[in-house]
Amino acid sequence: MRLQTPSSAPVLTHPARSGWRQHVGSLMLGRWAPGIQRLTEPPHALPQAPRSGWPVACALLRSPAAVVGLTVLLLIGLMALSAQFWYPGDPLDMVAQPLLTPGEDWQFPLGTDALGRDLAAGIVHGARVSLLVGLTAATVSVVLGSLVGALAGYYGGRADRVLTWLIEIFQTTPSFLLVVVVVSITQSTVGIIAVVIGLTSWDTVARLVRAEFRALLSADFVLAARSVGYNTPWIIFREVLPNTVAPIIITASVIVASAILTESSLAFLGVGDPNTISWGSMIGSGRDLLRSALYLTAIPGLALVITVFSLNLLGDALISALNPRLRGRTA
């Protein structure tokens, strides 16, 4: 009496000649038979998932920092979208006496600038351009930078050398000058400015992602993925990339802030979009009167700080929420 084993030798047919999956059944020496040590019969349905299907969103909403950041950003976004409702007409119109300080005339709660334009209208309308530029630039640079960094880090060798060389070119070129040149050649609309700023700031993201990939590629779970036969896009995007989100998010929130400021510098140099108002252009135009009317720069500056700060709050909470280890801890 002995354990029955297949009497004939298992034959592996070449997959090119016949469907290999048909042969799996006959090939397997092991089979799903109940054994002596089987203690628990597997249930026939999956157990209920412990939390809802949106663990990241739930974790995010449990974190006070994320709620504050998200609320402020939503308010700013709503304000930008409904700018025409609050302040119909062009915010660049002269509407009152110049240089009213905030609170002097309650019709213009944030005061007016040297040309008699309403500061409050400028903040509300300017949010549109600033948010658009910041978020677009960050998206472009994160997508491009992650892709280049991931490819360089994953493939290594010659591909890595070429891509690293590309990254270094962008790092050593003064990116602001590059933006000025590109914007001068093309039209200076807000959309183009945003994309061009994104195209010149992806190198930081790429470098970070590349370094993370180099380190993670030797991890056993990547080797395991390869030995199971995952294809390259799967390994890059589903296995490794989710493990690099922390540096990506941190860089992205920095890029949002610097993109808003770059746009303001463009406006200051006169290569920005002359027909729109942005927080950056308001800061720029207030510069001349910095000593006599500080509020002209301070108010749009404060709006910028609040936005970036909320982004950072949201970003930090997002990093924790995306990390299963930290997700449970945020109470």
Partner 1 sequence: MNAVANVDDHRHTLLSVSDLRVNYGDYCAVKGVSFQVARGETLALVGESGCGKSTTAMALMRLLSGRAELTGTVDFEGLDLSGVSDAVMRNLRGNDISMVFQDPMTSLNPVLSIGEQIGEVLRRHRGLSRQAARAESLALLKKVRIPNPEARLDDFAHNLSGGQRQRVMIAIAVACKPRLLIADEPTTALDVTVQAHILQLLKDLSEEYAMGLLLITHDLGVVGQWADRVAVMYDGLIVETGSTEAIFTTPQHPYTQGLLGASLRLDSDTHYARASLPEINVQRGAGGQIHFDLHSYPRAAKALEPDRDALPPILDVRHLRTEYKTRQGPVAAVDDVSFTIRPGETLGLVGESGCGKSTLSKTILGLIRASHGEILLNGTNIAALPEKQLRAYRPFVQMVFQDPYGSLNPKHSVYRILDGVLKNHGIKEAQQRSQRILDIIARVGLPPTAVWKYPHEFSGGQRQRIGIARALILRPSLVILDEAVSSLDVSVRAQILNLLADLKDEFGLAYLFISHDLSVVKYMADRVLVMHDGKIVEEGAHDGIWKNARHAYTQKLIGSVPVPRYPVADDESVPYTDSAWQDLPVAMLLSRFAI
Distances (CA, A) of 327 to 55, 67, 100, 123, 184: 8, 15, 49, 36, 46
Main-chain phi, psi angles of 151, to 5 degrees: -65, -45
CB 318 within 8 A of CB 74: no
Stretch binding partner 1 (CB under 8 A), from 30-38, 141-149, 189-197, 205-213: 30-38
Give me the least distance between CB of 223 and partner 1, in Å please. 6
Q: Which CB, 30 or 88, lies closer to partner 1?
A: 30
The residue within the footprint of partner 1, chosen from 24, 106, 270, 291 (CB under 8 A), is 24
The residue within the footprint of partner 1, chosen from 172, 231, 292, 331 (CB under 8 A), is 231
Q: Does 158 bind partner 1 (CB under 8 A)?
A: no
Give me the least distance between CB of 147 and partner 1, in Å please. 19
50-80 as b/e, with b when 16 or more CB fall inside 10 Å? eeeeebeeebbeebebbeebbebbeebeebb
N-terminal to C-terminal alpha carbon distance within the chain = 60
Structure tokens at 310: 């909320």
Strand partners, 118: 112
8-state DSSP, 109: T
The residue within the footprint of partner 1, chosen from 98, 103, 191, 242 (CB under 8 A), is 242
The residue within the footprint of partner 1, chosen from 2, 17, 158, 291 (CB under 8 A), is 2
CB 163 within 8 A of CB 221: no
Q: Which CB, 13 or 84, lies closer to partner 1?
A: 13
- Tell the burial category of 18 from Cβ atoms under 10 Å away from its Cβ (0-12, 13-18, 19+): exposed
Angstrom distance (rounded) from CA 182 to CA 185: 5
- Pattern 31-70, binding to partner 1, x per CB under 8 A? xxxxxxxxxxxxxxxxx-xx--------------------
Give me the least distance between CB of 49 and partner 1, in Å please. 5
Give me the least distance between CB of 45 and partner 1, in Å please. 8
Q: Does 331 bind partner 1 (CB under 8 A)?
A: no
Query: Residue 4 CB: number of other CB atoms within 10 A?
Result: 6
Q: Does 227 bind partner 1 (CB under 8 A)?
A: yes
The residue within the footprint of partner 1, chosen from 101, 164, 258, 323 (CB under 8 A), is 323
Q: Does 106 bind partner 1 (CB under 8 A)?
A: no
The residue within the footprint of partner 1, chosen from 239, 271, 289, 298 (CB under 8 A), is 239
Q: Which CB, 34 or 174, lies closer to partner 1?
A: 34
Give me the least distance between CB of 230 and partner 1, in Å please. 5
Give me the least distance between CB of 40 and partner 1, in Å please. 5
CA-nearest of 224, 255, 58, 220 to 140 is 255
Q: Which CB, 5 or 172, lies closer to partner 1?
A: 5
Sign of CA dihedral 222, 156, 204, 230: negative
Site size with partner 1, rule: CB under 8 A? 60
- Pattern 180-219, binding to partner 1, x per CB under 8 A? ---------------------------------------x
Distances (CA, A) of 270 to 94, 95, 267, 281, 284: 20, 24, 5, 10, 10
Q: Which CB, 21 or 291, lies closer to partner 1?
A: 21
Q: Does 237 bind partner 1 (CB under 8 A)?
A: no
- Classify 191 as helix, strand or coil: helix
Applying CB under 8 A, the residues found at the interface with partner 1 are 1-6, 9-12, 14-16, 20-21, 24, 27-47, 49-50, 219-221, 223-231, 234, 238-239, 242-243, 322-325
